[in-house]
Amino acid sequence: MYRSILCVVACFSGLTACTPSGEIASIPESDSSALPAVEGAEFGAASEGIFAEGTFENGKHILAAANDDYRNSSQGPAIAGMASTHRVWDATRDWEDEDNAAGLAWPTNSGLNWEEKYAAWVDSMEKTTAENGHVTMGITTPWGRELPGPRLECSEMGMFLRALFASWYNLPFYMTASSNGSSVHYGHFGIVDNTGARKSGTPSYKAAYTDYTTSFAGQSNSQILANWPDDATLETKSLVNSQEDAVEFLGEDAYFGAYVDEMVLNKRAGYFLIKLLEDFGSIHFASDRNLWNVEPEAIRPGDILLHRWQSSGIGHVMVIKEVDPLPGGNLDVAIAYGSMPRIQPVWYETAIAKSYFTSDYAGSAEIGPTSEPYSRYGGGVKRWRTAKATSTHWTNTVAADDLDVWISSTDYATLEARVTTFEEILGEMTPEETRDALLEQIEMARNNLGMKPASCSNRERREQAFEDLYDVMQENWGWTREQTDATYRVPEDYVFAELEYTQSKTCCWNSTTPEMYDIIMDYNNDLVEDAHDAGECAEPVVFMARNGGTYAPFTAYAASVGRSAEWKSWTADESCPQSGVSEDTIKSEPFTDFCDIAAELMDWSDCPNNQSMQTYYPDSDHDGYGSASGSVQACSQPSGYVSNDDDCNNSNATVHPGVAELCDGLDNDCDGAVDEGCGGGGDDTGGDDNGGGDNNGGNDDGGLGCSCSSPMDGPGVPLVGGLGLAVFARRRRWMNGLLR
């Protein structure tokens, strides 16, 4: 299975979200400026003890996960110990209630309960264009305000939608994590321990912040929007110090706090959402305390698809956006997810979404990196638990209507079977669709590196996708790795080579910028082009620490071109045990040497040493004859290529010009005729009637009935979604030092 299609992106679950590597992309301390002073102390500092067993994830310090396997309910905090002053909103409805009023995505007398209404709301979100041009989704509030999705990482997006909806409609909501060996609960009741007591240093939300809902009771939506109350403090808040949650469509210096300020009349909910998203991450989606495993055929909008590739550590959270039934019990699905660096959610239809559902990371039986099946890591399709009060405690339950589609988190055989089921019910992906999905994964990783050039997770994501691309191209078109690299690689793949995370201090550096990316690429462009002009080939210099842990080639270049102010010094922006290494370690790479395909990578039309540019053809079956499909222009003959295109079957080494024709239904000698000389009847044309001949060329079975089918010689360069064009345009821009 093609695992790297699925990781994506960016939130690509575990210690860090949205990336398919072991990287912990975060900042060493919670952003204490992101919440107001509470009871005389900075919130971040006062609550620091909560995180004794936590970890860093995407610029934030998150709690540890609490795990158990529950079917009916997971017991939460005691109700008796709760104080109303700590409450964020009153839970006046139950998720399993039905109510007759029309709403955001349902008509009057819909017959839907609130779980079904949540699904209808997620399903109703329409496509719109993100600030960077990709397809995202718009979000509409109960008051009719419409905004594009916020800029979040993947787990944040999943939590944001569920908690936001609950706050609007006064529904109970909470998530459970572990703090110093005991459970801590973040919910509508505030932040409390098992007894219901407020955790020290956390806000008394009702006492500290304002809920304007009752002030606008009885007013029309247009009146409410015209007089919308702003919280001047809330609208300045950012989730992380790096402030990559900027929402420019709300104005300059607008971040997630400004976004939620436009979303909620209850400003307490806005402050709570920030704290929830700061302290929880993708690992908490794997906890059975918060979500449960659902059968494939029962999925609906608002459910979660979780990717995990390790028992602890990062992963990827995707919101199931649409689920439409098709004939024969099949499904048409769409997903949406944030990523790192934080982006507005990306929307994918079935053609690409299927690869995420059928990934090993979704809980297959394949063996993962810790020598146990991926099903042990907690990934797969999940549904939010339904918060409900008993006489003594809040509990997170499986709704009564869902008990028949619940799967135990230890029923590994059933969990593993879900991947196979999705292979069947989501339809077959063509080789072209699989290829194009991988190319889109690769391009997304490259774009993310353009924003954060030190990102080791995006380097790894790109290379995992290439590993799967090599398999797809070889299995379906007979391409070698070199052919694939010559067609789909770009120079920055070599500049930002994959690094060993635990042995490379660059991987801890999350504050690199697009301006630094330009400096790195400009330096390498000059290096490679100058060598080419001198008739030589120079390999690009990998962006990594070297020579005592420095970045000397790039800092020196920045100074030489007057751009020193744009270069940021290295900082450990997360827990970094490898910070003392004198030189980073490049992961062993299987891709083709740069100089072997430099002409294609650099789009050179001239050659050194009086050589001339020539056309070479792929020889996939290594018989000395090539195919016209997949030809390249190069100054010298690349490995796996020949100078002729005379082969008529590039996947069969016994078929090429000059071989003897056999009576096997093939054009063995590539002369355009099949089985010539074999005869067409049942007589022994090459023998005699008295047994004296040897029947050479005879056909004793009445003729072979020869037929053949033309093999698929090559896929060409796909331009789906502009990706093929983007690869080559990127090469040309890189030559001119214009790549962004």
Q: How confident is the model at residue 599 (pLDDT cuts 50, 70, 90)?
A: confident
Q: Which residues pair with 336 in a beta bridge?
A: 319, 347
Cα R_g (the chain), whole angstroms? 30
Q: How many Cβ atoms sit within 10 Å of the Cβ of residue 451?
A: 19
User: What CA–CA distance (Å, rounded) separates 361 from 334?
Assistant: 18
User: What CA–CA distance (Å, rounded) separates 282 from 285?
Assistant: 5
Residue 664 has pLDDT above 90, yes or no: no
Residue 13 has pLDDT above 60, yes or no: no
Cβ atoms of 587 and 457 within 8 Å: the answer is no
Reported as a single tens digit per residue, the pLDDT across 317-329 is 999 999 999 888 8
Of the two residues 25 and 423, the one the predictor is more confident about is 423
Element (H, E) at 183: strand 182-187
Ranges assigned E (strand) in 363-504 = 380-384, 386-389, 393-397, 406-407
Q: How many Cβ atoms sit within 10 Å of the Cβ of residue 511?
A: 17
Cβ atoms of 457 and 20 within 8 Å: the answer is yes
Residue 671 has pLDDT above 50, yes or no: yes
Q: How confident is the model at residue 696 (pLDDT cuts 50, 70, 90)?
A: very low
Segment 505-529 mean pLDDT: 93
Map out the domains of the chain as residue ranges.
3-31+282-431, 60-279, 434-595
Cα first-last separation, the chain: 33
Q: How confident is the model at residue 214 (pLDDT cuts 50, 70, 90)?
A: very high
**CA 543 and chain centroid, separation:** 23
Reported as a single tens digit per residue, the pLDDT across 268-285 is 999 999 999 999 998 999
- pTM, entire model: 0.70
Q: Which of 2-16, 235-249, 337-351, 380-394 has the highest mean pLDDT?
A: 380-394
Both structure tokens of 158:
């999943």
Residue 322 DSSP one-character state: E
Q: How many Cβ atoms sit within 10 Å of the Cβ of residue 561?
A: 12
Least Cα distance to 545 among 573, 503, 517 occurs for 503
